[in-house]
Chains A and B, each alone.
Chain A
Amino acid sequence: MIVQLARIAHTRSGDKGDIANIGVIAWQPQYYPILLREVTPERVKAFFGELVQGRVDRFELPNLHALNLLLHHALGGGGTVSLRTDAQGKTLGAALLAMEIEVDERELTD
């Protein structure tokens, strides 16, 4: 079945220059493998479309059941150069919650 990422994870996002970072945290430890399977750099880049001008890196934190995503050239130049309202990418984590992922109903234990 198709669900939104919000069903299994919460996020927080911020900036480092023109790179936006999104921390993606599984609601339950058993959802971490779903994050690994579904939240791939390719899908994240496709989800944000032209907002992300560069690559997407993904780092794994199995100890926290979390991923760290780096979205390169995603903030219109970043910092004070950016003309965006959200020049620090504070809302991009929330945006990602709408990304559709595929899960087996039996994987959703809560």
Chain B
Amino acid sequence: MIRIANGQGFWGDWLEAPVRLVDGGPIDYLTLDYLAEVTMSILQKQRQANSELGYARDFPPLIGRIAKKVRERRIKVVANAGGVNPVACARAVLSAAPGLKVAVVLGDDILERIPELLAKGYEMRNIDTDEPLSIISGRILSANAYVGAFPLAEALATGADVVISGRCADAALALAPMIHRFGWQPDDYDRLASGIVAGHIIECGAQCSGGNCQMDWQSIPDLANIGYPIVEAEPDGSFAVTKHPGTGGRIDSHGVKEQLLYEIGDPRQYFTPDCIADFTTLHLEDAGPDRVRGCGVRGAPRPAMLKASISYHAGWKASGTLVYSWPQAIEKARAADRIVRQRLEQLGLRFDEIASEYFGVNACHGPAARPAGDPPEVQVRISVRGADKQAVDRFTREMIPLVLTGPPGGTGYGEGRPEVRQIVAYWPALIPRDEIGTRVEVVE
């Protein structure tokens, strides 16, 4: 049995979590997931500005904090912290924690290869819209293929203390140690699928141990000290999900089910680079306090195509807010919205979309929101987006004047003029596996 803990569900997750996982009890592997879809484009920009950047900058100082214990207890760290510059990330880790052995997985970054791949006839159509990639060529900011767990396992086999990848499937971070330690092969479909299911359960960190858990949430103890999840993986693919004793939160089958269903499509076909997992075959049971056991998962052979995550410039946007109070708060907020829209129209400004939301009324649930009555206050949030940056910028001048020129009692404008932000959109596509060659390097 090996213990695999996940200490980071996204870049920006709780900084103390990985340290507490190392300090709080036995673990063999510590995984850290840093990369959301649009993170890659931010990192690509950072690397363009400075060739030594482009990775998750939280990661090297974290390794510095835990290096002593990692070395003493032979804990191995597996993280996709490399972003678009895994080698620079490895160097930063080595300067924060001299003496550790660091291996990187390369080959996921295909930004420079886009023209070559298009020329070969790969259209890389958007999975959601079916449009060919050529319509956004010239606006592409980053492009990465999702690699699987086998290259990560190969990196572990070098004896590295820290394995750093760029874009990889989130659940592959947890599957890699199982492949490495149990010798699973690419045709061990059921075991690989089991590892993917376990990896999916812990990939969002505390979201399976009591965080964001709807099930009886008020009774979940001590969220301030929430324990991040640990998978106890067995060579036959069965596993248990648990957390360190004395930590907050809760692990039971209801909370784990919520996470199993989180951001999935067809549960019978959960696509990953290493296998296709069938979530409907999982047998899940409570096995004591803060312990859930899983087994029985069936898998199918890995797909011929890998998913690529491409980001591109898609225009500009801005959002401005104002607050109105009782009485008739909703009516005042709606009147303010009408005035802004009329003034934008009179200025001849064109946008792809203007959207208005009313906090306290419908901002979260839209037309499905419960009736608000005559609430004590309402915040109106007006947002625009479009290709013309100047038009979006002009919009940002149209909110605050409402305070003196609109319905009575407008307030809440203290943060000043809204900021114009670039829209970096996400383009999911498929690329043949044969085109993505990964390799492992040990960085000294």
* Number of chain A residues close to chain B: CB under 8 A: 43
Interface centre among B261, B355, B385 (most CB of A within 10 A): B261
Bound complex: CA of A98 vs CA of B365, how far in Å?
11
Establish whether residues B38 and A59, one from each chain, have CB atoms under 8 Å apart when the complex forms: no
Given the known interface contacts A80-B38, A83-B317, the answer about A63 and B423 at a Cβ–Cβ threshold of 8 Å is no
Known: A85-B363, A92-B365. A80 touches B280 (CB 8 A): no
Q: Are B214 and A12 in contact, with the CB atoms below 8 A?
A: yes
User: What is the CB-to-nearest-CB distance from B219 to chain A, in angstroms, rounded to a whole number?
Assistant: 13
Check A95 against B363 for contact (C-beta < 8 Å): no
* 1/0 contact string of B244-276 vs chain A (CB within 8 Å): 000000000010011111111111100000000
Q: Which of A68-110 contact B (CB under 8 A)?
A: 68, 70, 76-77, 79-81, 83-86, 90-96, 98
B181 is an interface residue with CB less than 8 A from chain A = no
Complex Cα–Cα for A44 and B283 (A) = 28
- CB contacts under 8 Å to A, within B2-47, are 37-38
Give the Cβ gap from A73 to chain B, nearest Cβ, in Å. Answer: 9
Tell me the interface secondary structure of chain B in the complex.
mixed
- The answer to the question of B390 belonging to the interface, with a C-beta cut-off of 8 Å to chain A, is no
C-alpha spacing A50/B365, complex, angstroms: 11
Tell me which residues across on chain B come within 8 A of A70, comparing CB atoms: 265
Residues of B within 8 A of A49 (CB): 366-368
Neighbouring A residues of B385 by C-beta, 8 Å: 81, 83
Say yes or no for B369: interface residue by CB 8 A criterion.
yes
Give residues 167-225 of B contacting A (CB, 8 Å). Answer: 212-215
Which residues does chain A contribute within 8 Å of B266, judged by CB atoms? 59, 68
B220 shortest CB reach to chain A, Å? 13
Contacts of A50 in B (CB 8 A): 366-367
Contact B261 A61 (CB under 8 A): yes
A47 surroundings in chain B (CB, below 8 A): 368
B56-64, B151-159, B327-335, B424-432 - the one binding chain A: B424-432
Q: A96 contacts which chain B residues (CB < 8 A)?
A: 368
Q: In the complex, what distance in Å separates the CA atom of A84 from the CA atom of B261?
A: 23
B367-A23 in contact (CB<8A): no
Q: Which residues of A contact B38 (CB under 8 A)?
A: 79-80
Also in contact, A12 and B261, with CB within 8 A (given A59-B267, A63-B282, A83-B353): yes
CA distance A62 to B267 in the complex (A): 11
State which of A21, A79, A80, A92 has its C-beta within 8 Å of the C-beta of B263. Answer: A21
Is the CB of B357 closer than 8 A to any CB of chain A? yes
A17 contacts chain B at the CB level, 8 A cutoff: yes
Q: Which residues of A contact B214 (CB under 8 A)?
A: 10-12, 93-94
Is A95 touching B259 in the complex (CB atoms < 8 A)?
no
With known contacts A48-B366, A86-B364, A92-B365, A12–B262 Cβ distance under 8 A: yes
* Interface footprint category on B: 35 or more
Q: Does B112 contact A (CB under 8 A)?
A: no
Nearest chain B CB to A30 CB, angstrom units: 15
Partner of B261, one of A15, A23, A62, A81: A23
User: In the complex, which residues of chain B have a beta carbon less than 8 angstroms from the beta carbon of A84?
Assistant: 355, 357, 363
- Does B263 lie within 8 Å of A15, measured CB to CB? yes
Q: Does A41 touch B at the CB level, under 8 Å?
A: no
The answer to whether A62 touches B366, judged by C-beta atoms less than 8 angstroms apart, is no
Q: How far is the CA of A95 from the CA of B280 in the complex (A)?
A: 26
Cα distance A76–B365 in the bound complex, in angstroms:
13
Q: Quick check: B284 and A64 within 8 Å, CB to CB?
A: yes
Min Cβ gap A94→B in Å is 7
Q: Would B263 and A61 count as touching, CB distance under 8 A? A: no
Q: Is the CB of B261 within 8 A of A21?
A: yes
Chain A residues within 8 Å of B428, by CB? 17
Contact of A10 with B254 in the complex, beta carbons under 8 Å: yes
A-B contact pairs, 8 of them (CB 8 A): A12-B261, A18-B128, A21-B262, A47-B368, A49-B366, A60-B280, A63-B283, A95-B364
Can you name 19 extra interface pairs (CB under 8 A) apart from A68-B266, A83-B384? A12-B214, A12-B258, A16-B265, A17-B428, A21-B264, A21-B265, A23-B260, A47-B368, A48-B367, A48-B368, A51-B366, A51-B368, A63-B281, A63-B283, A84-B363, A91-B365, A93-B214, A94-B214, A98-B368
Closest 10 CB pairs of A and B: A23-B261, A83-B383, A49-B367, A14-B263, A12-B258, A83-B355, A91-B364, A95-B365, A51-B366, A10-B214
Interface positions of B (Cβ within 8 A of A):
37-38, 128, 212-215, 254, 257-268, 279-284, 314, 317, 319, 353, 355, 357, 359, 363-370, 381, 383-385, 423-426, 428
